[in-house]
Amino acid sequence: MITILRIGHRPERDKRITTHVCLVARAFGADRILVDLADRELESTFNSVNERFGEGASIETGVKWRRIIGEWKGIIAHLTMYGMELDEAVAAIKDKDGDDNNNVLVIVGAEKVPGEVYKAADFNISVGNQPHSEVAALAMFLDRYHDGNAMKELKGKMKIIPSNKGKVVVEE
């Protein structure tokens, strides 16, 4: 089970970015998304996508991130620019033994992440060593974690059909 924990969400600044983090998590195989600040609009938007395009991950906002981290049973992976190289970290996560290691908490920060997150993480993972988007970092992590097969085929009311020209969406 993969859970994404978004900390530092600021709706006035991060509304679209946090929405994109959630959509990437859903499409790339996460099971659950937790956001530290209560945001009913974000939940509504996300649940609408699930309803139309197929049930992916669940979402909960307004969680206490310190409690989530403190009580987590499994691996804690923090995506950052300052940490282990991505491929090395993913291999190490997969190599860990034990029942709890099937549960991976992936922390994605918005604003400056408190030092206690770096200390609590089993893996601080550097997705490149240049400034970049947390959306891209999450997509890359989930894609590597799922061996390039991260995109979920979800059954929903609507389906996007690949097309070189134009938008093709069918309702089922």
The residue among 143, 156, 146, 132 whose CA lies nearest residue 56 is 156
DSSP designation for 116: H
Q: Note the pLDDT of residue 148.
A: 83
Output phi, psi for 146, to 5 deg.
Answer: -95, 20
List the alpha helices (DSSP H) in the chain.
11-27, 40-53, 65-71, 86-95, 115-120, 134-145
Give the integer Cα–Cα distance in Å for 124 and 83. 5
Q: What share of the chain is helix, strand, coil (3-state, %, to 5)?
A: 40, 20, 35
Question: Token match 């190599």: residue?
Answer: 95
Give the integer Cα–Cα distance in Å for 11 and 37. 9
Give the integer Cα–Cα distance in Å for 9 and 38. 9
Assess whether pLDDT exceeds 90 at residue 97. no
Q: Is 77 helix (H, G, I), strand (E, B) or coil?
A: strand
Q: What is the pLDDT of residues 53-95, one digit of tens each?
A: 888 789 999 999 999 999 999 999 999 988 899 999 999 999 8
Which of the residue ranges 36-45, 122-131, 154-163 has the most confident prediction, judged by mean pLDDT? Answer: 36-45
Give the integer Cα–Cα distance in Å for 50 and 158. 10
| Mean per-residue pLDDT, 127-156 | 83
| Mean per-residue pLDDT, 143-160 | 78
The reported pTM is 0.88
Ordered structural domains, the chain, with CATH: 2-171 (3.40.1280.10)
Question: Do residues 24 and 59 touch, judged by C-beta distance below 8 A?
Answer: no
Assess whether pLDDT exceeds 80 at residue 129. no
Q: Note the pLDDT of residue 101.
A: 62
The letter for the amino acid at 16 is R
Whole-number average pLDDT of the chain: 88
Q: pLDDT band for 119, please (50, 70, 90 cuts).
A: very high
